Structure 1
């Protein structure tokens, strides 16, 4: 494969140069293998149950710190197969994904090779890192179906996350919905390409894998700013690329220090100093008449309970001063979304404020404009907590209350898709 011809980074800087860019399964798919008639997993257990076993074994359930969705225990010596996908980080972390399952036999490998990628989200520790996937091969990045993002409330409410979901060339959620192949970055000059090793090429959904040469040949001229006759296609390449899977799940995390009012006195009775969040409110600044406040959050929650709140269904009724992009509209950019999860963390002294946010969140709905689908609370709230050890302060050191706080509270609430009828 003439990677240096099609990769923007050249032979030396190309992460794919000299590497096989296809999964072994693509080469084994047409070869015979033992029928496994003596294995209960294949001969006795129905395929539906076998699939459930595979999903359970290959889903990462490692206990993790709530704000940073990475397990506490970090081991740089773990083999690459045990690393967690983390944008912008090369450090490997412990995972309970049963990777050895893929090594047991060819029959199991063929059925499961992509599941560790499709079942587990790609993590972004900060919203501005979106578009910077870790060192994944094109087929691996194409297999991912979920994204897990830690974001500051100010960036969430000011539309930065929405903008990333809408315009980010790597995620390209609408393009993934319509059909794109993930290929190495294309370039015909020395100008840098900020696609981080990948380019998405439009196609139809009739095939899931295709030769790279054919993908480039069939690409429309509008996709490139040059004539295809000027591009030195690697005509001898038989490398294959895969169709990008649509994103079906997103997790949004707000950590203890990511709220507008994370550092205010937890004993304050002034609701303007409390934690607050609402999908129909955006924060252009810290001014109370712009951002979400506890009072306004509770008012809108009560309106939803009474059935007379229209802000969730009509953008035209949304007050312009809150900004034209409210963060609740992120579902509009994810046409294949099936679930939306919020993980909210705070210092233990602000536990009551966090619980108030969660009670209001139970009333939230996330409608998709122009369709009959809406995301509603699934009826469960997951509670967790964790502690840290705080070093004793120096004698002359002045600390705030949160500097000495050792305990944290976390709430996870999920919204699932419903189809409106009637």
Structure 2
């Protein structure tokens, strides 16, 4: 375990404001209110595709929204101290940390804020405590089998959504790259200014990529003959494996107002219930589903059913 108390340079600078040029000759600082400048910083520091370095079309990590390496224009923070002290937390506040739980090589090494489940960490491992604390958005790229096995609670443990909900402070970083959140010594205004207080996780994206589906290797024509070979997803069941009708049964039950009428004996919470149970501060939840073009009709069927899903799907 290593100590996480590496305060950002901005903390020291803010204690010596005479060392910060207010940049009053710049219209950005002389004419714009702080709130407007923050909107500019938040827009400018969102991740973007580096379209000058496009991936090859057959690269396994090339997909919609990631046709090229993702970058963050952190050079903005180097322009002057006035910009830096206002914007140093924003790259972590506006960009999601990306967590992987998949066997597919879909994470290019240059991606910012990425962590793989097998312990191979990228920039995530290098995050300081205050950087990790200010993340409020998570993107999870996951195999369907792991999603249906209840892995959202494992992801929550890695991110610390419950402890962030309680206002815990980042104190230590474990050797595997995970972070320890403990009770804060401060309260009130002091706590609000502490960059080590974990921000609440307000945005969660679950992404199934082309190779994430249980049936991704099945030929499209096989799905026409056997529904068990088609893509399907049902948030109220432990698994769709081997059951070609579970998604359709869920759709028909919801359409007729019988949302819990799947008659399934759960060994653990289905992933639909875990979304709200383990992530208490979510404001937005996004489910991104990708597949090969030849299976678009199968994905269309999943989307049709998904339009009736609500979270939590059923009380547990």
Tell me how far apart the structure 2 counterparts of residues 344 and 66 of structure 1 sit (CA, whole Å): 16
Counting only pairs closer than 5 Å after superposition, residues 198-277 of structure 1 correspond to structure 2 as 198-203=179-184, 206=188, 207-208=190-191, 242-268=196-222, 269=224, 270-277=226-233
More helix by share: 2
**Counterpart among 152, 161, 173 of residue 162 in structure 1:** 152
- Residue among 135, 142, 148 paired with 2:133: 142
Contact 1:184–1:199 under 8 Å retained in 2: yes
Check the 8 A contact 1:331/1:368 in 2, yes or no: no
The TM-score with structure 2 as length reference comes to 0.78
Q: How far is the alpha carbon of 1:68 from its aligned partner?
A: 7.1
Question: What pairs with 1:55-204 in structure 2 (closer than 5 Å)?
Answer: 55-62=42-49, 71=66, 73=68, 94-126=69-101, 129=117, 133-159=124-150, 161-166=151-156, 168=157, 170-185=158-173, 196=177, 198-203=179-184
Runs of 5+ unmatched residues, structure 1? 1-7, 9-13, 74-93, 186-192, 211-239, 312-316, 371-422
Match of 2:242 among 284, 287, 297: 287
Q: Does 1:298 align with 2:288?
A: no
In structure 2, distance between residues paired with 1:141 and 1:281: 33
Q: Does structure 2 retain, via aligned residues, the 8 Å contact 1:165–1:173?
A: no
3-state SS in 1 of match to 2:265: helix
Secondary structure of the structure 1 residue equivalent to 2:159: coil
Alignment of 1:319 onto 2:248: no
**Do the aligned partners of 2:250 and 2:259 also contact (CA within 8 Å) in 1?**
no
**Separation of aligned partners in 1, 2:93 and 2:45:** 10
Q: Is the 8 A contact 1:25 1:113 kept in 2?
A: yes
Q: 1:228 maps to what in 2?
A: none
CA distance in 2, matches of 1:67, 1:61: 15
What residue is the counterpart of 2:30 in the other structure? 43
RMSD: 3.2
Per-residue deviation, residues 275-313 of structure 1 (Å, max 9, x unmatched): 001211221x7332xxxx4x432342344344x1333xx
Query: Are the equivalent residues in 2 in contact too, given 1:118–1:143 (CA < 8 A)?
Result: yes
Which runs of 5 or more residues in structure 2 are unaligned? 103-115
Q: How many residues align?
A: 284
Larger of the two Rg values belongs to structure: 1
What is the distance in 2 between the residues matched to 1:259 and 1:197?
28
Three-state SS of the structure 2 residue aligned to 1:346 is coil
- The answer on whether the counterparts of 2:138 and 2:205 sit within 8 Å (CA) in structure 1 is yes
Deviation at 1:345, TM superposition (A): 1.6
Q: Distance in 2 between matches of 1:368 and 1:305?
A: 13
Deviations 1:159-191 (A, max 9, x none): 1x223045x2x4221111001111125xxxxxx
Alpha-carbon distance in 1 for matches of 2:118, 2:280: 19
Name the TM-score, length of structure 1 as normaliser. 0.60
Structure 1 residue 156 displacement after superposition:
0.6
> In structure 1, how many angstroms separate the alpha carbons of the residues matched to 2:12 and 2:307?
48
Assess, with a 3 A threshold, how the Cα gap between structure 1 residues 342 and 130 changes in structure 2: closer, same or farther: farther
